[in-house]
A and B are shown apart, each in its own frame.
Chain A
Amino acid sequence: MLTIGSYQVLRLLRDKVLLVWTLAFPIIMSLIFMAAFSALDDSYEADPIEMGVVQDDAYEAAEGFDAFIAALSSEQDGTHLINTHRYATAHEAETAAKNGDTVGYIEVEDGTPVLRVLPNDSAANTVPVLRAALDSYEQTRAQYAALAAQGAGPEQIAAMQVQHVSTQRAQITESPSSPTVRYYFALLAFACGMGMHISMLAVQEVVAGSSPLGARRTLAGIPRWKVLAGTLGAAWLGILVCLLAAFWFIRLVVGVDFGAHTGMCHLAIGVSSLLSCTAGAALGTVRGMRTGVVSGITCLLSLFTGLYGTAAQELADTVQNSLPLLAQLNPLWQSAHCFFSLLYYDSLAPFAHSCAVMGAMACLFLSIALVRMRRMSHEHL
């Protein structure tokens, strides 16, 4: 049995096509995701830009504006939006902008700050933020002016300033949520689905009716269960190693947060790989089953895990909300849900539920596979 298993593992290691689909593909996809999501994150970053400031009489007269500009130039408190270049007149500031020394300039006209910028791609992210900051300054200044006009004292105005916080970020899950982890969890589930290839091909080579190799191995002089156990054990090991490699790559290289339950993640991968192995084994007993069919099934089921983008995620959410039982019947959904449960739920109950469902599915598939593999004859020669 050990010899059968070890040769099965050796064959898997040498089967480049199988390794590409089950090991390399998820890793390559995770790198593509990483590149895509990192560009997405970059688009939300407002980097400091070179900005002229016209420091004339109007500037000096604007209440608190100098402090405001200083805050925008400060590198310490996370509001660093501009590197300030001060000019005496608007004409000088405009000339500097045209020369490329700055991307534009800020001047105060009639007590209101005005932002003038030249078209520049590098400033595309920062300019809207800067404009919003200037609007905020103007609103606050007008608000304080109105309060002062109504007779509010400096202490009351200072108290308003302290309370000037409109929204606050709150975290209600153990780990911070990120919209991108869903793709990686779906990708792991996809890798699990592709793992079915390994067990399907392995089983096809022990079932008499599936291939000449299957017929030959059916004539073995050792008990049938040993051949099956050695073959399926090796297939499971192969899928498990591929999934673990993908998991650790996504976690360490891509930097995806899987939460604090690393051990449980391994358990999830163990159960997922078992499910993949048994499902592939059941498919392998179907006469004439092709790898393309298995790939097709995996791709279809992955649609309902949200692997293919926001539209797929909306579809998956709709199915999950409207037909929860149908969603739960999807083995890949269960696999992805395991990781979600570990990351976002305080209790381990949802994780245990997903594991139990996958375990039950694995038992069902294994039973089907064993009943069909036990048959040692084939009627279509």
Chain B
Amino acid sequence: MADEAVSVEGLVKRYGEMVAVDNLSLRIESGEIFGLLGPNGSGKTTTINCVLQLLSYDRGEVAVFGRPMTATSYELKRRIGVVPQDVAVFDELTVAENIDAFCALYVPDRRRRRALVAEAIDFVDLGGFTKFRPRKLSGGLLRRLNIACGIAHQPELIILDEPTVAVDPQSRNAILDGIRGLNERGATVIYTSHYMEEVEQLCTRIMIMDAGRQLAIGTNDELKSMIGTGERIRVEIIGTEPLGEDVVEQLRRLGHVRTVDYEIPELHVECTSGAHNLSDVLGVLSGRGVAYGRVTSEPPTLNDVFLEITGRALRDEAA
């Protein structure tokens, strides 16, 4: 129990008839970077808000660091840092004042706070902007300020709700490096995002949820092994004639091949895991005298896993 940063057992949250979180159970170990993935309206933010006691819930138990979490668990709250999805800072205060104002909600001692604020400013690399008001900051700097306000008190559990939305690639990389740095300092991180590649790079374990339920949980590799696709092969056909339907049909009959799509000039083949998938595909093409150029073979991405588990239908933004 002591190694569990967060434990959720049988959590149910309803809005009238709608079930936002449906009997969800979850355990996050200390020191993890835990990714929470799901389409819009899947219940990610609701789950987080229930854990933080920002929302009351209908059933279930939530514990943080082995102790029941309640709205008045101030000692536990001091060990938690939250970076909300919306930038929530004071427009009238400067960068340094903002960080200090939020840090003061956790650390009453002014002297200690001064050191923490300085450290947070260094951490998000806002040293050149300490006297700036938020409206003078770019989107990326504003996000970094939002993060600094959430982590200045050096919490042991950090919850980041889509912290890189609307951030340019340079700032995003800086933020991701920062999160890794926080984890290396011993913090447990819960990270929600729509950006699969971020979660794939960053998280040690990932949970995919939809309709308030846990659909899959595991490491990156474990999740990939849960879906049928083991390898994606792309072949550029460079011959003067398009690929014949008979060649495509022959490829489909190969043992490990799951799907074959051909859109001039590119051939896409999805295979289950197998040692000779690429040579089998190229063997068929060579045997039929098809000339090909660039060939790539890659394992499935988290995006493939996500789409395969949650389905490819569009989701309602307002859900």
Are A11 and B78 closer than 8 Å at their CB atoms?
no
B45 to chain A, nearest CB (A): 6
User: Known contacts being A220-B106, A221-B105, A376-B71, is A7 close to B55, with CB within 8 Å?
Assistant: no
Q: In this complex, what residue of B is CB-closest to A4?
A: B104
Are A10 and B71 closer than 8 Å at their CB atoms?
no
A4 contact set on B, CB distance < 8 A? 101, 104-105
User: Known contacts being A212-B86, A215-B88, is A220 close to B55, with CB within 8 Å?
Assistant: no
Q: In this complex, what residue of B is CB-closest to A213?
A: B88
Does A91 have its Cβ within 8 Å of any Cβ on chain B?
no
Q: Which of B83-99 contact A (CB under 8 A)?
A: 84, 86-90, 92-93, 97
B310 to chain A, nearest CB (A): 21
Are B90 and A7 closer than 8 Å at their CB atoms?
yes
Binds B, one of A29-37, A222-230, A265-273, A338-346: A222-230
B79 contact set on A, CB distance < 8 A? 221
Does A211 have its Cβ within 8 Å of any Cβ on chain B?
yes
A218 contact set on B, CB distance < 8 A? 54
Alpha-carbon gap, A224 to B72, bound state (A): 8
- Size of chain B's interface in residues, with CB distance under 8 A? 38
User: Known contacts being A15-B92, A220-B105, is A3 close to B110, with CB within 8 Å?
Assistant: yes
Are B55 and A227 closer than 8 Å at their CB atoms?
no
Alpha-carbon gap, A3 to B74, bound state (A): 18
Q: Which of A335-381 contact B (CB under 8 A)?
A: 376-379, 381
Does A194 have its Cβ within 8 Å of any Cβ on chain B?
no
Does A216 have its Cβ within 8 Å of any Cβ on chain B?
yes
B64 to chain A, nearest CB (A): 12
Alpha-carbon gap, A122 to B220, bound state (A): 94
Q: Which of B223-277 contact A (CB under 8 A)?
A: none
Alpha-carbon gap, A223 to B52, bound state (A): 15
Are B84 and A215 closer than 8 Å at their CB atoms?
yes
A217 contact set on B, CB distance < 8 A? 105
B97 contact set on A, CB distance < 8 A? 7, 10
Does B108 have its Cβ within 8 Å of any Cβ on chain A?
yes
Are B93 and A7 closer than 8 Å at their CB atoms?
yes
Contact partner of B74 (CB less than 8 A), chosen from A10, A215, A223, is: A223
Does A14 have its Cβ within 8 Å of any Cβ on chain B?
yes
B77 contact set on A, CB distance < 8 A? 219-221
A376 contact set on B, CB distance < 8 A? 53-54, 71
A14 contact set on B, CB distance < 8 A? 92-93
Alpha-carbon gap, A208 to B55, bound state (A): 9
A227 contact set on B, CB distance < 8 A? 105
Contact partner of A3 (CB less than 8 A), chosen from B53, B56, B75, B104, is: B104
Q: Which of A2-23 contact B (CB under 8 A)?
A: 3-4, 7, 10-11, 14-15
Alpha-carbon gap, A227 to B108, bound state (A): 12
User: Known contacts being A222-B74, A377-B54, A377-B56, is A212 close to B92, with CB within 8 Å?
Assistant: no
B86 contact set on A, CB distance < 8 A? 212
Chain B binding surface, main DSSP class: loop
Q: Which of B299-319 contact A (CB under 8 A)?
A: none
Are B84 and A212 closer than 8 Å at their CB atoms?
yes
Contact partner of A377 (CB less than 8 A), chosen from B55, B78, B90, B100, is: B55
Are A222 and B49 closer than 8 Å at their CB atoms?
no
A252 to chain B, nearest CB (A): 30
Are A216 and B82 closer than 8 Å at their CB atoms?
yes
A15 contact set on B, CB distance < 8 A? 92
User: Known contacts being A379-B15, A381-B45, is A216 close to B55, with CB within 8 Å?
Assistant: no
Does B102 have its Cβ within 8 Å of any Cβ on chain A?
yes
B158 to chain A, nearest CB (A): 12
Are B55 and A11 closer than 8 Å at their CB atoms?
no
Are A208 and B101 closer than 8 Å at their CB atoms?
no
Query: Interface digits, B66-78 against A, CB 8 Å rule (1 contact, 0 not)?
Result: 0000011011011
- Max chain A CB contacts within 10 Å: which of B54, B56, B90, B102? B54
Query: Interface digits, A99-112 against B, CB 8 Å rule (1 contact, 0 not)?
Result: 00000000000000
A239 to chain B, nearest CB (A): 17
Query: Interface digits, A56-98 against B, CB 8 Å rule (1 contact, 0 not)?
Result: 0000000000000000000000000000000000000000000
Are B102 and A221 closer than 8 Å at their CB atoms?
no
A4 to chain B, nearest CB (A): 7
Alpha-carbon gap, A378 to B49, bound state (A): 9
The 10 A-B residue pairs whose C-beta atoms are closest, nearest first, are A221-B78, A220-B105, A212-B88, A221-B106, A11-B92, A14-B92, A212-B86, A3-B104, A221-B77, A376-B71
Q: Known contacts A7-B104, A224-B72, A377-B56; can you find 18 more A-B pairs with CB under 8 A?
A: A3-B101, A10-B92, A14-B92, A208-B54, A211-B88, A213-B90, A218-B54, A219-B52, A219-B77, A220-B74, A221-B75, A221-B78, A221-B80, A222-B108, A227-B105, A377-B54, A378-B55, A381-B46
Instruction: Offer 16 A-B interface pairs, CB within 8 angstroms, sorted by A.
Output: A7-B93, A211-B88, A212-B88, A215-B54, A215-B84, A219-B54, A220-B105, A221-B77, A221-B79, A221-B105, A224-B72, A377-B54, A377-B71, A379-B55, A381-B46, A381-B55
Using a CB–CB distance below 8 Å, which chain A residues touch chain B?
A: 3-4, 7, 10-11, 14-15, 208, 211-213, 215-224, 227, 376-379, 381
